Amino acid sequence: MTISTLMALSPLDGRYAAKVTALRPLLSEYGLMHRRVQVEIEWLIALSDAGLDGFAPLSEAARGLLRSLIARFSEADARAIKDIEKTTNHDVKAVEYWLKSRVEHDAELKAVCEFIHFACTSEDINNT
């Protein structure tokens, strides 16, 4: 089914769609997921630097691996998160599970993956 601009849910998807194309990667659900991934990763790195018992600062290699997940975040990654969300019925929890699945192959990160989302609410992730 082809949707005309008259059937768009808002003018942004209707008559202004061509003018806001550059905003889609930032303001779409994909963009929100991308930023959630970024916040969760930077929070994990900050926790590692906080001096918590049993959580030494992450190595540069681990930090690089984590930040590469932000830099290389793709539409396929967003789809994978949506697939997890079908089971969790929770959008931020799906991001957490996706991140855990992406780092479990690395021994250093696997050892601290339970700190992903530690002491956070979904609101903390969405508003940061």
DSSP character for 28? S
What residue ranges define each of the domains in the chain, with the CATH number in brackets?
24-127 (1.10.275.10)
Q: What is the pLDDT of residue 55?
A: 93
Q: Which of 5-9, 23-27, 91-95 has the lowest mean pLDDT?
A: 5-9
pTM attached to this predicted model = 0.90
Q: Which of 3-12, 42-51, 59-68 has the lowest mean pLDDT?
A: 3-12
Q: Phi first, then psi: give them for residue 50, nearest 5 degrees.
A: -85, -10
Q: Which residue has the tokens 């339970």?
A: 114
- For 63-112, the pLDDT digits (tens) are 999 999 999 999 999 999 999 999 999 999 999 999 999 999 999 999 99
Tell me what percent of the residues of the chain surpass a pLDDT of 90: 81
